[in-house]
Structure 1
Amino acid sequence: MSDEVARADADWLALREPADAAARSTELVEALRPHLPTDGLVIHDLGCGTGSMARWLAPQLPGNQRWIGYERDEDLLNRAAAAPPPVSLDGLTVTTETRLRDITHLPTEDLDGASLITASALLDMMTREELERMVASIAAAGCPALITLSVIGQVDLAPAHPLDDQIAVAFNAHQRRDTGHGPLAGPDAVYVAAHALRLAGYTLHLTPSPWRLDSSDTALLKAWLKGWVDAACEQDPSLRADASEYRGRRIQQIGSRELTAMIHHRELLALP
């Protein structure tokens, strides 16, 4: 995973955390619980960022929990350590530790004894080869995996604009660009991971988990729109001539509370 795509901005992660929490599937958590041990959990969170996955999931799982967060960005790890999850579902202790690692080259022994492996908003930043290596590590651990908020390349904006589809196509191409380590899996990532996990003998549950953004999400909408349009223009410079007017119109619609956006994701629960 190149530095270009692997380092997430902490402010962006903080801005999106409430939308992530609202989108993640509690139904998959219900399906997961019967497959977890009852005498304490060891949960490995790959690409943990600032720890939002642990803060969301730990209170929904029972028993003592030990969370181990993996990240290649030391600043993000420090932020995760400074804001640990609360107690478990039944009020028991949740402890955390962090490990500075490149998860695309994770030694199998790092995951020994795992009760659960999690990841969130991660897969699209990996190549197919990196995804397959990660799946091999999960399969070697032999435990369930809960992978949330994988983008699938579909965005629905209302009101519609003639440039929406062109920007979406260019953005998705940007998500699949070659960063020097091979093309990124991008919007195909969750399906690449699902195929590899199925071949490894896992039973899979896939479910939608869209962001639904409206006038109550003004700051997130503006930040998401900027990133979406900028990436599209980087991929297809011919869009730049019209993108400035497009962005201005969309920002105006956000300000007047007209614009809504549904950014589609998929959640994946894999059970051995």
Structure 2
Amino acid sequence: MIPGAGPVGRPGERSSGRPDEGPCAEGGADRATVRLRENGPDDPPRYAPEWLRLREGADAAARAHELLDPLRVRLAEPLARPDGMVVHDVGCGTGSMGRWLAPLLDGAQHWILYDRDPYLLHFAAAGAPHSAADGSRITVETRRGDIARLTPDALEGASLVTASALLDVLTAEEAGALAAACAGAGCPALLTLSVAGRVDLTPAHPLDAELTEAFNDHQRRDGLLGPDAATVAADAFTAHGATVRLHPSPWLLGPADAALTAQWLRGWVGAAVEQRPELRERADRYLTERLAACAAGELRVVVHHHDLLALCRPNGGAS
């Protein structure tokens, strides 16, 4: 699952865009490059690697480095595995979380990458880093699966659970199960880039607030957490005795990010219109204006997210 700050923010919503479109080409919001078409109704959603590569730099710049020091302290505790860390990366997509985090941590690491899509797992394994911050070896294995399979037994021996842009496409029950699994295994969790439900566009436009509200409603459809994800997950981890830290991790998009901004705009507006079809006529004009400003280097966007670090009590942790 790779939504979060992505154009649509949920699996199974929208087909990929045309590959020959320019980064700021005018067009409908249905052209967001979010996922590949499925072969059939039972196939898992397939997110386009092009979109994931497009957002990887902005994701890396946004993630909260302030959470790394307390995480390093925990990972260096005496109870840590002598043969190195075992990191479970849930909903790994093309592996951007590992490419960001693994080289920032010392020590040997074995990453277990989970995703529903074997196509993305291939990219994740092929692009995995080989060396930790201190030159120690990094190894990788892949497992096809999703959040429903992440149990305390599955996490036995885990040093850390990570995910990026995942929490907002979970239900409260799924977020609770994730917290329970981490608590049961006594391992910390670093869960980054959950949408916060706020965007700031410069220059401002009268329709910004209405589109934001519609998009947030779209994110909450079918019981998904959407912009409530970080708060709900924090409460779930706290209920299991974890120490939880939340930190802002906004995308800061300017003229140098025109390709990403244009794709984000198409998906953001498209989801808002899908939620409130009566917005379509005004939203089409809005999108045309915003894409023109993007192409001219005149648009700046802040997409707000939260990163969450949950330090669960070691060894399962009841007090």
Q: Is TM-score (shorter-chain normalized) higher than 0.5?
A: yes
- Cα deviations across residues 8-58 of structure 1 (Å, max 9, x unaligned)? 332111110000000011111112101013731100011111100000001
2:139 & 2:130 partners in 1: Cα distance? Answer: 9
Match of 2:5 in 1: none
Of 39, 53, 60, 1:21 maps to 60
Match of 1:184 in 2: 224
1:106 & 1:186 partners in 2: Cα distance? Answer: 21
Match of 2:271 in 1: 231
Map residues 2-13 of structure 1 onto 2, 5 A cutoff: 4=12, 7-13=46-52
* Count of aligned positions: 268
1:228 & 1:212 partners in 2: Cα distance? Answer: 16
Paired AA for residue 264 in structure 1: H
Report if aligned partners of 2:91, 2:115 keep a CA contact under 8 Å in 1. yes
* Bigger Cα displacement from structure 2, 206-215 vs 2-11: 2-11
Match of 1:78 in 2: 122
Q: Secondary structure at the match of 2:47?
A: coil
Q: CA deviation at 1:104?
A: 2.3
Give the RMSD, CA atoms, in angstroms: 1.4
Q: Which structure has greater helix proportion?
A: 1
TM-score (norm 1): 0.95
Q: CA deviation at 1:240?
A: 0.2
- The answer for unaligned runs of 5 or more in structure 2 is 2-9, 14-44, 313-319
Report if aligned partners of 2:164, 2:193 keep a CA contact under 8 Å in 1. yes
2:56 & 2:251 partners in 1: Cα distance? Answer: 11
Q: Which runs of 4+ in 1 moved over 2 A?
A: 5-9, 104-108
Q: Secondary structure at the match of 2:153?
A: helix
1:202 & 1:107 partners in 2: Cα distance? Answer: 17
Q: Secondary structure at the match of 1:270?
A: strand
Q: CA deviation at 1:103?
A: 1.6
1:161 & 1:148 partners in 2: Cα distance? Answer: 29
* Bigger Cα displacement from structure 2, 139-148 vs 214-223: 139-148
Match of 2:29 in 1: none
- The answer for unaligned runs of 5 or more in structure 1 is none
- Cα deviations across residues 86-107 of structure 1 (Å, max 9, x unaligned)? 3101001000011001222334
TM-score (norm 2): 0.82
Report if aligned partners of 2:130, 2:139 keep a CA contact under 8 Å in 1. no
- Cα deviations across residues 52-96 of structure 1 (Å, max 9, x unaligned)? 000000111001000001111111101101111231010010000
Match of 1:255 in 2: 295
2:142 & 2:63 partners in 1: Cα distance? Answer: 23
Report if aligned partners of 1:55, 1:86 keep a CA contact under 8 Å in 2. no
Q: Secondary structure at the match of 1:84?
A: coil
Of 183, 204, 216, 1:139 maps to 183
Match of 2:170 in 1: 126
State whether structure 2 residue 97 is matched by structure 1 residue 53: yes
Q: Structure 1 pair 103/38, CA: closer, same or farther in 2 (3 Å)?
A: closer
1:191 & 1:80 partners in 2: Cα distance? Answer: 29
Of 244, 258, 278, 1:204 maps to 244
Report if aligned partners of 2:179, 2:233 keep a CA contact under 8 Å in 1. yes
Q: Structure 1 pair 171/12, CA: closer, same or farther in 2 (3 Å)?
A: same
% identical aligned pairs: 54
Of 55, 67, 71, 1:32 maps to 71
Report if aligned partners of 1:85, 1:94 keep a CA contact under 8 Å in 2. yes
Higher normalized contact order (CA 8 Å, seq sep 6+, divided by chain length): 2
1:156 & 1:35 partners in 2: Cα distance? Answer: 35
- Cα deviations across residues 223-269 of structure 1 (Å, max 9, x unaligned)? 00000000000000000011111001001101111100000000111
Match of 2:30 in 1: none
Q: CA deviation at 1:137?
A: 1.0
Paired AA for residue 307 in structure 2: E
Q: CA deviation at 1:3?
A: 5.2
